[in-house]
Amino acid sequence: MTKKRGLGRGLSALLEDPGTDITSPAASGDVSPSRTAGSVAAIPIAHIEPNPFQPRTTFSKEALVELAQSIRELGVIQPVTVRKLGYDRYQLISGERRFRASQIAGLVEIPAFIRIANDEAMLEMALVENIQREDLDAIEVAISFKRLLDEVNLTQELLSEKVGKDRTTVTNYLRLLKLPPEIQIGIRNKQIGMGHARALISISDPDRQLELYQKIVESQLSVRAVEDLARHSTTGGRIPTGSALSAAPFKQFSKDLGQHFGTRVVVKGNASGKGRIEITFKNEEELERIKALLAR
């Protein structure tokens, strides 16, 4: 059964209640009475403050320019979400890419959902909304998880429910933050993937983590090769280099296949994980036996 994603009953109720406006239009003299909590309205961009809780720290300039061009042609399809601070003043909760691209496009107003949220609820909403995006890198996700635990005081179990991910996945992301800064930067720059990072986490010595990280980048190692090398490192051996690096992950494969086929098997490959398998047979009868095993 797929786990239902949600913001939690307390936060959801707070954000969906149109009666939670911080001030009535009549009392404040608001010239735009339609801009109350729970409504959708066109709000002057100049009246919106950036989100101080924004989890994302990097935005692609090229992607923002492309989005700005789309906004010029089609407008803002999905409204941003803001919270009302007072008389005609708002603060962005989510939708910062759309907000920045609209500024680049020269828009004066932007469609927005108007909500009321205290600082903790706003942080929670901003973090959860960003985690659901597919373009976040693994470190940004991990930092968002950590902030939800530390600043919103969520447990890992409640966090996993709110973001729609199982607890093991949440734990794996949080463990990335224990890696050396150089490796975290490599993850953010997409030099290594999440699979590589999980293998590196299994190594307790930071120096060996960095040593293997450099090998991954230099030799473009596959995740499977890194897992094998990480296991080799945790048993006390040094990380192989050069030709030994290429051969290390394949020795066990050769042994396992040799036992399966009852003959000598050699698995050859390079550091990227590509290679070939050589199965030795003595006569036609043994070849037929191996073919039968392969056909199973």
Q: Which residues are catalytic?
A: 96
Note every long-range contact of 65-69, with CB atoms under 8 Å and residues 24 or more positions apart, other chains counting: 65/101, 65/104, 67/97, 67/98, 67/101, 68/101, 68/102, 68/104, 68/105, 69/105
Determine the residue type at 110: I
d(CA 277, CA 219): 21
Q: Distance between CA atoms of 150 and 154, rounded to whole angstroms?
A: 7
CA distances from 144 to 35, 53, 57, 184 (A): 30, 10, 11, 14
Residue 248 · residue 228 · CB < 8 Å: yes
CA distance linking residue 93 with residue 116, whole number of Å: 10
